[in-house]
Amino acid sequence: MLFGLILSFLVSFAVCYLFVRYNPFGMWAYDPVSAGPQKFHTKPVPRVGGVAIFLSLFAYWIIWRDYGLIVLCSLPAFLGGLLEDLTKRVGVKERLFLTMLSATLGYFLLSASIDRVGVPLFDHILAFSLFSFAFTVFAVAGVSNAFNIIDGFNGLASGVAMISLLALGYVAYLVGDSYLFYLCLILCCALLGFFVWNFPKGTIFLGDGGAYLVGFLIAEVSVLLVKKNPQVSPWFPLLVVAYPVVESLFSIYRKKILRETSPGEPDKLHLHMLIYRKIKVKNKAIKNSLTSPYLWAFTLMCALPAIFFWENTMILIFLVIIFIIIYLWFYWRLVRFKSRISLMKLMKRGMD
């Protein structure tokens, strides 16, 4: 087991080194400095870190012949994001469709289905396979997309992912689910191999491929943990990933309702971007790396109580509501600090 964890780290670390040092994909794999409102780096950077994560999982499967099915299920989500990284021509709808395809494969090949959410009426509806299938695909694709949304600063998405995986892995250990426990550790080691290159200097980015891959795998682990272990509340994994999920849902509301634009249109109003602007440091590289710890703290604020109350649905629901309130309050405070303009006008302008 220890050798497998070391291998996962070393494969990811070595592949990232090759991309940083030689960049075999050429300029296709680079993220230019002025590439849109959500770009804050100061020099072109390779954005194919997801390849390192995927190859770590693939190497583990080649040697131990384990986790092959989940690697197979992740392929559509990963390749859709990777093609966008390399070509910049794969739209949001196409990537969402491919992520839903991965969720569909997980539903049938891994039996990763959501059959309960701890709400009696909704659980009764989920007893019907068609509704369970539709809700599972929606939820898994949503979490996958949520990690892509928060992937904006050095160490942000990978740090949040590692905290989430450690929380999920800990509860998997408590309930004796060795399959999911080891998978969480393997993913953490693969992410760590990438993280040391990504934070704090940002010499390589996770990219859409990596963000969708990591988000999908965390979603699948969450679904399988609840599916295989009835004592685990379905609200436990939701609280663990509450930050990216709430960020994603609020982003849709902000763009669709307040700004009346497409939810897929990028803007400068994500929480991590507001925090970035609030940090009083002139050096952009340092300012970038100082942003992520604030959001790691947000994730820990959810993950720590989640692992204490992983069996108690009522307390977990209460904690999810409390986090949403804290998120909205904190967001509102940052917006007020930013400008005297009314919130509605600021949202419609997108802080352009």
Q: Give the per-residue pLDDT at 261.
A: 83
Count of Cβ atoms closer than 10 Å to residue 275 Cβ: 20
DSSP 257: I
Q: Does the reported pTM lie above 0.85? A: yes
3-state secondary structure of 128: coil
- pLDDT, averaged per 10 consecutive residues of the chain (352 residues), comes to 93 95 68 54 80 96 94 98 92 95 98 96 96 98 96 95 98 98 98 97 94 98 98 98 97 86 82 91 87 96 98 98 97 71 52 48
Do the strands 30-31 and 45-46 form a parallel or antiparallel pair, or are they unpaired?
antiparallel
Q: Give the per-residue pLDDT at 224.
A: 98
Domain boundaries, the chain: 2-349
Q: Give the per-residue pLDDT at 40.
A: 56
DSSP annotation string for 59-116: HHHHHH--SHHHHHHHHHHHHHHHHHHHHS---HHHHHHHHHHHHHHHHHHS------
> Residue 67's closest CA among 190, 176, 173?
190
Q: Give the per-residue pLDDT at 335.
A: 83
CA dihedral for 163, 167, 168, 173, sign (positive or negative): positive
Q: Which residues pair with 31 in a beta bridge?
A: 45
Q: Give the per-residue pLDDT at 28.
A: 60
Count of Cβ atoms closer than 10 Å to residue 97 Cβ: 13
